[in-house]
Amino acid sequence: MDKIGQFGDIIWDNAIYLIVLVLFFMGMFVFLQQQTNGAGVWEDFYAKEIAKTVNLAKPGDEIKLDVQKATIVAKKSKVDSFNHLFEFDNVNSKVCISLNRGGRKTCYSYYNNVDIIDYKIDLGASESGGNLLEFKVIEKQKEVKNG
C-alpha cells in the first residue's frame, strides 16, 4: 500500500473513533439532562404530598397548593401545556402527576372517601407570584364527575 493510502487509513480510523466519542458524549449529555432536571423525583414528591393533603381534607374544603416548582420542572422538560400536569382519578381515588414530555404519569392513591372536582392550575396566583393548584373536595359521589 502506498504512503498516501496508509495516511488516509489512519485519518479514517481516527475519525471513526472521534465520531463514536462525540456520539457517546451526546448520548450521555441527553441522559444526564433528562435525569437531573428531576422530573421523576418531583412527580413522586408531588403525588405523595397531594395524596396526603387529600387524606387530611374534609368535604367542603377548597385547597390551594403552591406548585411553582412543578411547573418549572415541566417547562424545563418542554411540556406543551400545564393542563394535564395534575389529574385526579375519582374512580380509583388517585392523583397522577406528569411533569415530562413523554406522557409518563406517576400516580399515588388516597384513602379518604372523597371526590376531587374543579381542579386547575392558577398561573401567578400565589402571593409570591407563583402558580397554584386549586381543587375542591366533595363527598364521594356515586356518579363520578371529573374536574
Partner 1 sequence: MDKRGAVGHQIMAFSYLFILFMLALGIVLGVLIVYGENYDFKESDSSVLNYKIRDCILHNEIKEGFFNENVFYDACGLNKKALLDNKYMIKICNTEDCVESTSFKISLGSNFDSCLFEGAKENKLFPKCDISEIEKNSEKFFIVTGSNQEVVRNA
- Check binding of 48 to partner 1 (CB under 8 A): yes
- Check binding of 128 to partner 1 (CB under 8 A): no
Give the Cα separation of 24 and 132 in Å (integer). 40
**Residue 138, Cβ density class (10 Å: 0-12 exposed, 13-18 middle, ≥19 buried):** middle
Q: According to CB under 8 A, which one of 30, 56, 123, 144 is a site residue for partner 1?
A: 56
Could you tell me which stretch among 16-24, 61-69, 74-82, 118-126 binds partner 1 (CB under 8 A)?
A: 16-24
| Residues sharing a CB contact under 8 Å with residue 39, sequence separation 6 or more, in sequence order | 73, 74, 77, 99, 100
Could you tell me which stretch among 23-31, 60-68, 74-82, 120-128 binds partner 1 (CB under 8 A)?
A: 23-31
Question: How many residues bind to partner 1 according to rule CB under 8 A?
Answer: 42
- Check binding of 88 to partner 1 (CB under 8 A): no
Instruction: Give CA angle at 39 (33, 40), nearest 5°.
Output: 110
The alpha carbon dihedral of 11, 17, 19, 22 has a sign of negative
- Check binding of 129 to partner 1 (CB under 8 A): no
| Residues sharing a CB contact under 8 Å with residue 147, sequence separation 6 or more, in sequence order | 88, 116, 117, 118, 119, 120, 135
Q: According to CB under 8 A, which one of 3, 4, 36, 129 is a site residue for partner 1?
A: 36
Could you tell me which stretch among 19-27, 63-71, 72-80, 119-127 binds partner 1 (CB under 8 A)?
A: 19-27
Residues that bind partner 1 in the complex, under the rule CB under 8 A: 1, 9, 13, 17, 20-21, 24, 27-28, 31-32, 35-36, 38, 40-41, 44-45, 47-48, 51-52, 55-56, 58, 92-94, 102-114, 140
